[in-house]
Amino acid sequence: MKLSDYAKSIGVSYKTAWRMWKRGELNATQLTTGTVIVNFDKPINKGVVIYARVSSSENKSNLDTQAQRLESYCCAKGYTVVRIVKEVGSGVNDNRRKLIHLLNQDDYTLIICEHKDRLSRVGFNYLKVLLNQLGRDIEVVNLATERTDDLMHDFVSIITSFCARLYSIRRRTRKTECIVKCLEEDE
């Protein structure tokens, strides 16, 4: 079967199937014409993980409906869902416990999320590149643009994060000065 047909049959783009072949995940050969032929002797589908996230606990009811929509999408595409990860937290936060745990797992080949910003507001492309290096990928269901109120919320979150870091640096500097002063007094 040609690589393009194989990609359609498993529900991924041709580019994703090409990357899978380049990483050696497919039992395939390339003809002298450049056509890649996939053999079905060695299926390598570990399954997919659904990742749903909302920013605050006020939107927790939306979390379940988001996960249900993604589950229906996976069912329609014929994906095998390994697990569903639901998380409440800011998309700007880089210490989301459930996402970090998910990224440390290796029992899946694809992460499904509704929007890019549900996985990460900052550095989405970095995550995608790194996961591709590990033989995994991210599939975004809805590529629609963001609403302006979401962007404003993100902007406020980023400013808050930078202010917290700035105050932390000042606090560390004062603490260091205090330690130095105490050491000088002991001498």
CB of 118 within 8 A of CB of 57?
no
pLDDT > 80? residue 170: no
Question: How much is the pLDDT for 66?
Answer: 93
pLDDT > 70? residue 42: no
- Helices 14-22, 3-10: crossing angle, 10 deg rounding: 110
Counting residues of the chain whose pLDDT is more than 70, the rounded percentage is: 90
Write the CB contacts of 99 (distance below 8 Å, at least 6 apart in sequence).
51, 53, 85, 87, 119, 120
**Interval 108-131: pLDDT, tens:** 999 999 988 888 877 888 999 999
pLDDT > 90? residue 92: no
pLDDT > 80? residue 169: no
